[in-house]
């Protein structure tokens, strides 16, 4: 069917806006592009860029206000019926019926796509085998882990062997292992059926694997090209920096304050920097720069930062960064168990965290990270073992310990109908702050997190990145000694992630201990030390460099954190 | 401590008032229910359709009939001319009652040898309406008899009934139903507000955020209870105002007695709402739980049907129902002019229910915190 | 043939969901039983053993024969008081519902030209009960008069006497009309509330988005919801009828099949409303609230289930024509207590049919084909 393949998906000056109350949101503004048949195209951009709207337009779930969307030369308005036979669409939450089992979900979508009985069995076996779902055929979808749900969602969409596959952030909240498998399945399907894929993603390494990347921002399509093209523009601008006298965190801070650089992030023992176009390294002394291969993420950051000049302001000053070397253990976890009925979520967990450390908890979904966290915050009692936070035993004086910790939960829990200021005032009062001290802290939060323009906006209406900042600010109102961050960056775009880590580093430098869970492996690089958890157990513990070293091999000289994670997890599974 | 609770209160009120859905729940259903109940829920009969089958064509029978048709309770919608039509008119719900006048009506009435005969046939499909319609017709008939006997100097009945109704001389259902709405709506709003409040925080994830602050469970619970109390009292006051000024129900008793009752009632209902709340994880469950409590609480309260008519075991069961006591208070104060000393017997059960339910809520809340 | 596969898949899915979601099953089966038991046992408008107080200033043979007439009746429970003050106090304290006051001259004036007066005071707070009680007292009183007169050999001479009959429910049991009417309320709950909630759930959980991206048609989506909940509703109807007939002994004088047929029609109306609500609301919380306000409460208050429609103010009477339950309550009470009266059944069924058609047309027109 080559003739239809020519124009898989074409958008021609498409615009779409939504009205809610008096506010009009222009979600997609005058977008024109077409995608390459038989390839994967990635849709990247910050939150609220219009990626989901664009995918829904492509799936015919929304109609454009102006312009045309055509799929295989069929108009999405008039010929939506035919289009639906040709596409597969997986929404953000996978669109599964959580109270149906794996096989029941598959059967439902097979019925909806009118798959004949005899083809069906074969296809089921093929897909469940490929996705590793076969042992769970009779488990309810709601009881699957995030990674399994995502694979089931994908299997349901692939049942009809669509010619065009549309995926909306398929890998949010999914661990690296599952992400790898997802890619394997997609690539296999493309080989077999010549399928075309359009996916939105927040992972730049994922976008890098695609044939083409469309960069969106604020409803506009900024650029569409191959990853190599994007990277090529950054050639000669990316360096790994290293200084003998400074720790990588101090170096990163220093570099990010220099006008020459757009971006500086910690990458293992080095600091990965992106230089401003036309700038030179001449004025920077005492630091060794090694030119390195640019990544798509560098291009992405560079492009977006050029649009938002003041997106990240370098911090004005920083208290003696990491000057005081304290070895006091502020958190002690000693053989802690946690049972939920017959299920042991955490198994004899022991570790200690030192004051001023950034300590990471990594692991796949369901590894016991969140349970551990909730126990540390006093939200969940331990079944066995000892737990002390800031020298206080949580079993005897939980309330006393709570006054000294800050906690930010996965969902950035805020009172969505209260304004930013009202949220700050409420949480500061809850922590016992009064009068001038309270006013001072609220002012600090609004300034430090650049929330002033939004101070009277309801927190529910904030963009995700700002919600995260506000949640963080609320957890910090009482200047806690220890800060617990549960998946602080999940679903947040790279730009916002950078700002977040920038501020977290500053906090750590002032002596605040930070405990963080994440499944973004590259974020583990920001941690001083980390543990990787698997099935409630510690798989490994150490500094990022130590952990990566474990995965070193001949054909992989410099493994990334993700490589290390997958290496260790699969090694464990083989034993 | 006080400042903490004050902060919780401010937060709770802002969340309720700024949230479109909560605002809707607080405002629209109560007003809607007030009007529906105030106007539609009445046992009084007006303009009941009746048919008349007059087999006697004289002036006396017409006078007699006019007694019925002139009453505001009845409207003649059908004139029957053949006997077969009676069953049809009733079966087909064309009329609620048929007044059948015997062919010798005028003769018997005038000669007074034997009583003149009429037959009243009532559709009993709604037995309550049937009984009341029948009562109305018998009263009209008795008045006619009395007047006729007086005019024609006949011997009167050996004894006469003089019926007077206290507290509600015109026997208007609205006087009974509308003060009851104060109790009903206060119950509904308070239960919904408190039953959903913790579930809402659980759904949004802010509950964990609250629990990691140094606030004690007792403070958090108070922060949930006091808004319920304030909203319940405000809602009750609004309906009392509407009852007095819109529906013109007399308010004879002491406002102090009424407000003591309102406070105790809301207090006991909050306990129940918070118990539902600490059991429920989602607002959906909270709503269903509230519904499952409200429906029996209203039906078994004496709001629409008397408790005395229930089987004894059900009557004993109603002793647990706070609305039962409050309805006595509100109707007593409105219609009977009660003051505090009359109502002590209603106050203490409410106080006991309140203490027990709040205690349970506190205990369940602590247990379900994790 | 092929589209049947899609529909079958959807229906099967819906049944699995109903089976696994305890709250749908609760609304469909537990709630009807709960409501029927509550109403069957808890709600009665039949006053029995009404406590009445007597104040007899001068007891004689006549006064005791009069009070005996009440003592033999099932309706009353007598208490005697020394004076009016005590009795009035008891009335205020709600110990008694009425006072019968026989003055000192009662026996003397009996059968005299200036007839004896019997003073009755009823507690009027509950106007309906007060009216029923005074009706009962009047009835007992006139019976007593007749007996008394016959004993004296001078039959009572009344200008007009009425012979009354209450048709269809001669025992005047309120449960016989409350329970059939309740079936309409229950069906409203199952049809409208449940359907509104489950549709809104698909929007909330994001499954509607993936359904819409498949080659499924609007009719299939609507039918896929309607058929399972229609069957569930019919299950609820059968359960309610069985409980009414076997547990509460309500006579079923008309045809069971007529009930089933008109029940189907009403269910379509309720389902249509539920679909419309959920298409508009897209959120379980709002859908639940709207369903309760515009379907459950009116079915309760404005359908003629308890309160007589013709006595309501005209504006509200006009509104009741928009309430499907009004038509079904009329059918239910007739088929249970009277029989197959086609003149009631047919016009009301027609009204239900028209309403169902209107709701379905609206639902089909408003039904989502896209996300807006």
Is residue A249 within a helix (H) or strand (E), and if so which, with residue range?
Answer: helix A248-256
- pLDDT tens digits, A226-274: 989 988 888 888 888 888 777 777 788 788 777 788 888 877 778 888 8
Among residues C75, C340, C37, which one has the least CA distance to residue C178? C37
Residue A256 and residue A352 share a domain: no
Burial of B32 (0-12, 13-18, 19+ CB in 10 A): middle
> What is the structure's pLDDT at A166?
93
Please state the rounded mean pLDDT for residues A372-389. 85
> What is the structure's pLDDT at A316?
43
Among residues A41, A37, A39, which one has the least CA distance to residue A5? A37
Distance CA A565, CA C56 (A): 97
Residue A235 and residue A220 share a domain: no
CB contact under 8 A, A98 and C2: no
| Interface chains of chain C (3 or more CB pairs under 8 Å) | A, B
From residue B263, give the alpha-carbon distance in Å to each of A93, A242, A418, B177, C20.
Answer: 46, 70, 29, 21, 42
Q: Number of structural domains, chain C?
A: 2
Residue C11 and residue C123 share a domain: no
Chain B: nearest CA to C1, how far in angstroms?
39
How large is the ipTM?
0.81
Residue C238 and residue C317 share a domain: yes
Across the interface, of A374, A381, A430, the residue whose CB is closest to B7 is A430
Q: Which tokens sit at B27?
A: 């405002």
Q: Number of structural domains, chain A?
A: 3
Q: What is the mean pLDDT of chain A?
A: 83
Please state the rounded mean pLDDT for residues B317-323. 93
Residue of B nearest to A423 (CA): B11
DSSP assignment of A181-204 = HHHHHHHHHHHHH--EEEEE-S-H
Please state the rounded mean pLDDT for residues B334-344. 88
Residues of B whose CB is below 8 A from A458: 18
Distance CA B314, CA C43 (A): 10
The C-alpha angle A360, A500, A176, rounded to 5 degrees, equals: 50
Residues of A whose CB is below 8 A from C205: 93, 97-98
Residue C55 and residue C186 share a domain: no
Distance CA A280, CA B164 (A): 105
The pLDDT of residue A2 is above 80: no
In a domain, C196, yes or no: yes
| B48-151: CATH topology | abc type-2 transporter like fold (3.40.1710)
Residue C236 and residue C141 share a domain: no
Residues of B whose CB is below 8 A from C110: 158-159
Residue of B nearest to A400 (CA): B214
In a domain, C158, yes or no: no
Per-domain boundaries in chain B: 2-41+172-367, 48-151
Is A444 near chain B, with CB under 8 Å? no
Q: Which tokens sit at C206?
A: 């994001």
* Lowest model confidence (mean pLDDT) among A465-469, C113-117, C201-205, C254-258: C113-117
Residue C118 and residue C35 share a domain: no
The C-alpha angle A109, A115, A121, rounded to 5 degrees, equals: 90
Residue C142 and residue C179 share a domain: no
Is A378 near chain B, with CB under 8 Å? yes
The better pLDDT of the pair A212, B17 is held by A212
Is C34 in a helix, a strand, or coil?
Answer: helix
CB contact under 8 A, B127 and C167: no
Residue A537 and residue A410 share a domain: yes
Among residues B261, B279, B233, B286, which one has the least CA distance to residue B353? B261
Sign of CA dihedral B130, C319, C240, C285: negative
Q: Which tokens sit at B101?
A: 């006048």
Residues of A whose CB is below 8 A from C17: 97, 99-100
* Lowest model confidence (mean pLDDT) among A439-448, B313-322, C2-11, C107-116: C107-116
CATH code of the domain covering residue C136: 3.40.190.10
The pLDDT of residue C157 is above 90: no
Chain C: nearest CA to A53, how far in angstroms?
10
Going by the DSSP 8-state scheme, the letter that residue A21 receives in this structure is T
Residue A469 and residue A514 share a domain: yes
Residue A257 and residue A110 share a domain: no
Residue where one domain finishes, among candidates A177, A208, A225:
A225
Say if CB B189 and CB B30 are below 8 A apart: yes
The pLDDT of residue B83 is above 80: yes
Is A80 near chain C, with CB under 8 Å? yes
- pLDDT tens digits, B156-207: 777 777 888 888 888 888 898 899 989 988 998 898 888 888 888 887 788 8
Across the interface, of A381, A402, A413, the residue whose CB is closest to B206 is A413
How big is chain B, counted in residues?
370
Across the interface, of C5, C13, C210, the residue whose CB is closest to A114 is C5
Residue of B nearest to C148 (CA): B158
> What is the structure's pLDDT at B283?
76
Residues of C whose CB is below 8 A from B122: 164-167
In a domain, C167, yes or no: no
DSSP assignment of A372-402 = HHHHHTTSS--SEEEEEETTEETTT-HHHHH
> What is the structure's pLDDT at B325?
95
Helices (H), chain B: 2-18, 20-35, 59-69, 84-91, 105-111, 127-151, 173-204, 206-211, 217-245, 255-279, 283-299, 312-317, 322-331, 340-367
Cβ neighbours for C339, distance < 8 A, ≥ 6 positions apart: B91, C253, C254
The pLDDT of residue B347 is above 50: yes
Domain of C78, in residue numbers: 50-152
Going by the DSSP 8-state scheme, the letter that residue A453 receives in this structure is G
Is A380 near chain B, with CB under 8 Å? yes
The pLDDT of residue A279 is above 80: no
CB contact under 8 A, C166 and B314: no
Residue A193 and residue A339 share a domain: no
Residue C353 and residue C293 share a domain: yes
In a domain, C371, yes or no: no
Residue of C nearest to B36 (CA): C301
Residue where one domain finishes, among candidates A273, A307, A341:
A307
SS3 string of A55-89?
HHHHCCCCCCCEEEEEECCEECCCCHHHHHHHEEE
In a domain, A324, yes or no: no
Residues of B whose CB is below 8 A from C123: 165-167
The pLDDT of residue A542 is above 80: yes
Confidence of residue B11 (pLDDT cuts 50, 70, 90): confident
Residue C178 and residue C142 share a domain: no
Please state the rounded mean pLDDT for residues B294-315. 87
In a domain, A321, yes or no: no
In a domain, A449, yes or no: yes
Residue C280 and residue C192 share a domain: yes
Residue A136 and residue A60 share a domain: yes
Residue A245 and residue A341 share a domain: no
CB contacts under 8 A, A 46-85 vs B, are none
Please state the rounded mean pLDDT for residues B264-287. 87
Chain C: nearest CA to A120, how far in angstroms?
13
The pLDDT of residue A93 is above 80: no
Distance CA C182, CA A114 (A): 43
- pLDDT tens digits, A395-434: 777 777 888 888 888 777 888 888 899 999 999 988 888 8
CB contact under 8 A, A415 and B370: no
The pLDDT of residue C314 is above 90: no
CATH code of the domain covering residue A521: 3.40.50.300
The pLDDT of residue C120 is above 80: yes
Chain A: nearest CA to B212, how far in angstroms?
6
Residue where one domain finishes, among candidates C120, C152, C184:
C152
Residue C295 and residue C147 share a domain: no
CB contact under 8 A, A431 and B7: no
Is A44 in a helix, a strand, or coil?
Answer: strand
CB contact under 8 A, C126 and B176: yes
- pLDDT tens digits, C238-247: 999 999 999 9
In a domain, C353, yes or no: yes
| Interface chains of chain B (3 or more CB pairs under 8 Å) | A, C
Across the interface, of C9, C17, C205, the residue whose CB is closest to A112 is C9
* Lowest model confidence (mean pLDDT) among A29-33, A175-179, B199-203, B366-370: B366-370
Q: Which tokens sit at C126?
A: 């509950």
- pLDDT tens digits, C174-204: 888 889 988 998 888 888 888 888 888 888 8
Residue C64 and residue C28 share a domain: no
Distance CA A512, CA A497 (A): 19
Tracing tokens 């209603």 back to the chain, one arrives at B346
In a domain, A312, yes or no: no
Residue A178 and residue A39 share a domain: yes
Domain of A91, in residue numbers: 2-225
Residue A234 and residue A214 share a domain: no
CB contacts under 8 A, A 291-310 vs C, are none
Residue C233 and residue C218 share a domain: yes
Residues of B whose CB is below 8 A from C122: 163-166
> What is the structure's pLDDT at C354?
96
- Which stretch, A133-137, A490-494, B94-98, C152-156, has highest mean pLDDT? B94-98
In a domain, A54, yes or no: yes
- pLDDT tens digits, C20-53: 877 778 778 888 898 888 888 888 887 778 899 9
Residue A456 and residue A336 share a domain: yes
Chain A: nearest CA to B23, how far in angstroms?
12
- How many inter-chain contacts (A to C, CB under 8 Å) are there? 93
């Amino acid at each position: 069917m080559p003739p239809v393949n020519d124009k898989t998906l074409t958008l021609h000056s498409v615009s779409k806006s939504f009205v809610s109350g008096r506010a009009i949101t222009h979600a997609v503004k005058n977008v024109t592009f077409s995608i390459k048949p038989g390839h994967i195209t990635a849709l990247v951009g910050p939150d609220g860029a219009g990626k989901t709207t664009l995918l829904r337009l492509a799936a015919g779930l929304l109609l454009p206000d102006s312009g045309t969307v055509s799929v295989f030369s069929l108009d999405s308005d008039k010929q939506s019926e035919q289009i639906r036979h040709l596409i597969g669409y997986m929404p953000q939450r996978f669109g599964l019926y959580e109270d149906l089992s794996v096989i029941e979900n598959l059967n439902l979508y097979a019925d909806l796509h009118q798959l004949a009985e005899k083809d069906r069995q074969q296809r089921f076996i093929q897909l469940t085998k490929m996705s590793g779902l076969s042992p769970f055929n009779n488990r309810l979808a709601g009881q699957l882990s995030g990674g399994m749900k995502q694979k089931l969602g994908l299997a349901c969409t692939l049942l009809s062997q669509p010619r065009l596959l549309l995926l909306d952030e398929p890998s949010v909240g999914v661990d690296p292992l599952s992400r790898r498998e997802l890619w394997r399945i997609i690539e296999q399907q493309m080989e077999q059926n010549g399928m075309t894929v359009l996916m939105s993603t927040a992972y730049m390494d994922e976008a890098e694997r695609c044939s083409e990347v469309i960069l969106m921002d604020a409803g506009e399509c900024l650029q569409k090209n191959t990853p190599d093209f994007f990277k090529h523009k950054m050639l000669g601008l990316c360096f790994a920096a290293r200084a003998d006298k400074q720790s990588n965190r101090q170096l990163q801070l220093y570099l990010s304050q220099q006008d020459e650089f757009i971006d500086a992030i910690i990458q293992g023992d080095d600091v990965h920097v992106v230089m401003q176009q036309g700038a030179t390294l001449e004025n920077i002394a005492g630091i060794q720069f090694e030119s390195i291969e640019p990544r798509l993420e560098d291009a992405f950051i560079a492009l977006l930062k050029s649009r938002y000049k003041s997106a990240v302001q370098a911090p004005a000053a920083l208290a003696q960064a990491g000057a005081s070397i304290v070895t006091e253990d502020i958190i002690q976890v000693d053989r802690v168990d946690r049972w939920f009925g017959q299920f042991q979520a955490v198994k004899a967990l022991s570790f200690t965290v030192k004051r001023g450390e950034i300590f990471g908890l990594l692991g796949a979904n369901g590894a016991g990270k969140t349970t551990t966290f909730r126990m540390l915050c006093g939200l969940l009692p331990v079944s066995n073992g000892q737990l002390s936070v800031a020298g206080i035993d949580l079993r005897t004086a939980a309330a006393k310990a709570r006054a000294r910790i800050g906690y930010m939960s996965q969902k950035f829990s805020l009172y969505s109908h209260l304004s930013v200021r009202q949220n700050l005032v409420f949480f500061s009062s809850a922590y016992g702050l009064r009068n001038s001290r309270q006013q001072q802290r609220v002012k600090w939060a609004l300034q430090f997190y650049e929330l002033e323009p939004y101070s009277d906006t309801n927190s529910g209406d904030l963009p995700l990145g700002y919600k995260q900042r506000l949640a963080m600010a609320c957890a910090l109102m009482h200047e806690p000694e220890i800060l617990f961050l549960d998946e602080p960056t999940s679903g947040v775009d790279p730009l916002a992630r950078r700002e977040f880590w920038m501020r977290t580093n500053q906090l750590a430098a002032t002596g605040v201990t930070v405990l963080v869970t994440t499944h973004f492996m590259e974020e583990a690089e920001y941690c001083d030390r980390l543990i990787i958890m698997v099935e409630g157990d510690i798989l490994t513990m150490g500094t990022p460099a130590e952990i990566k070293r474990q995965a070193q091999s001949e054909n992989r000289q410099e493994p990334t954190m993700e490589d290390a994670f997958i290496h260790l997890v699969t090694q464990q599974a083989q034993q | 401590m006080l400042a903490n609770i004050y902060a919780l209160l401010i937060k709770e009120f802002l969340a309720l008032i700024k949230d479109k859905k909560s605002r809707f729940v607080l405002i629209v259903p109560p007003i809607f229910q007030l009007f529906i109940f105030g106007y539609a829920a009445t046992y009084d009969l007006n303009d009941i359709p009746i048919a008349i089958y007059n087999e006697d064509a004289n002036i006396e029978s017409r006078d007699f009939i006019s007694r019925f048709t002139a009453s505001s309770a009845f409207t003649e919608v059908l004139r029957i001319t053949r006997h077969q039509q009676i069953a049809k008119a009733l079966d087909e719900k064309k009329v609620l009652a048929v007044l059948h006048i015997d062919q010798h009506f005028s003769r018997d009435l005038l000669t007074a040898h034997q009583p003149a005969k009429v037959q009243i046939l009532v559709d009993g499909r709604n037995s309550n309406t049937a009984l009341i319609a029948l009562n109305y017709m018998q009263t009209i008939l008795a008045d006619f008899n009395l007047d006729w006997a007086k005019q024609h100097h006949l011997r009167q009945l050996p004894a006469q009934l003089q019926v007077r109704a206290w507290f509600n001389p015109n026997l208007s259902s609205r006087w009974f139903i509308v003060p009851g709405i104060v109790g009903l709506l206060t119950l509904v709003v308070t239960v919904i507000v408190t039953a959903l409040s913790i579930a809402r925080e659980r759904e949004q994830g802010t509950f964990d955020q609250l629990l990691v602050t140094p606030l004690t469970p007792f403070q958090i619970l108070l922060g949930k209870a006091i808004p319920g109390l304030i909203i319940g009292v405000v809602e009750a006051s609004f309906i009392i105002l509407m009852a007095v000024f819109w529906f013109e129900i007399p308010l004879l008793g002491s406002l102090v007695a009424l407000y003591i009752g309102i406070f105790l009632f809301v207090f006991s209902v909050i306990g129940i709402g918070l118990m539902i709340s600490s059991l429920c994880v989602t607002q959906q469950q909270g709503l269903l739980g509230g519904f499952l409590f409200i429906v029996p609480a209203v039906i078994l309260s004496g709001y629409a049907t008397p408790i005395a008519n229930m089987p004894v075991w059900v009557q004993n069961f109603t002793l647990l129902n706070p609305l039962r006591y409050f309805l006595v208070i509100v109707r007593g104060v409105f219609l009977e002019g009660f003051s505090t000393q009359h109502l002590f017997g209603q106050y203490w059960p409410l106080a006991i229910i309140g203490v027990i339910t709040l205690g349970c809520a506190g205990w369940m809340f602590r247990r379900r915190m994790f | 043939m092929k589209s049947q596969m899609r529909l079958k898949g959807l229906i099967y899915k819906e049944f699995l969901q109903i089976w696994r979601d305890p709250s749908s099953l609760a609304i469909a089966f537990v709630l009807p039983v709960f409501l029927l038991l509550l109403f069957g046992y808890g709600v009665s408008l039949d006053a029995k053993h009404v406590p009445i107080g007597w104040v007899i200033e001068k007891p004689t043979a006549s006064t005791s024969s009069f009070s005996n007439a009440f003592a033999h009746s099932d309706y009353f429970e007598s208490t005697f008081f020394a004076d009016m003050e005590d009795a009035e106090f008891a009335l205020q304290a709600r110990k008694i519902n009425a006072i019968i006051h026989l003055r000192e001259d009662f026996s003397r004036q009996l059968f005299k030209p200036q007839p004896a007066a019997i003073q009755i005071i009823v507690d009027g707070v509950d106007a309906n009960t007060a009216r029923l009680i005074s009706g009962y007292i009047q009835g007992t009183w006139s019976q007593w008069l007749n007996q008394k007169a016959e004993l004296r050999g001078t039959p009572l001479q009344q200008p007009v006497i009425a012979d009354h009959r209450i048709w269809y429910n001669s025992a005047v049991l309120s449960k016989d009309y409350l329970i059939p009417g309740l079936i309409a309320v229950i069906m409203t709950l199952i049809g409208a509330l449940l359907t509104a909630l489950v549709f809104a759930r698909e929007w909330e959980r994001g499954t509607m988005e993936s359904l819409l991206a498949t080659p499924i048609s609007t009719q299939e989506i609507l039918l896929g919801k309607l058929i399972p909940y229609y069957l569930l509703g019919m299950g609820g109807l059968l359960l309610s009828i069985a409980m009414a007939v076997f547990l509460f002994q309500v006579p079923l004088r008309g045809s069971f099949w007529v009930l089933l047929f008109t029940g189907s029609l009403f269910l379509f109306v309720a389902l249509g409303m539920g679909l419309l609500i959920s298409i508009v609301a897209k959120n379980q919380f709002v859908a639940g609230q709207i369903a309760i306000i515009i379907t459950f409460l009116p079915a309760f208050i404005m359908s003629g289930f308890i309160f007589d429609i013709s006595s309501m103010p005209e504006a509200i009477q006009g509104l009741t024509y928009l309430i499907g339950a009004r038509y079904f309550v009329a059918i239910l009470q007739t088929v249970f207590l009277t029989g197959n009266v086609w003149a009631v059944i047919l016009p009301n069924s027609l009204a239900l049919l028209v309403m169902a058609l209107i709701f379905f047309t609206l639902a089909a027109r408003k039904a989502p084909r896209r996300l807006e």
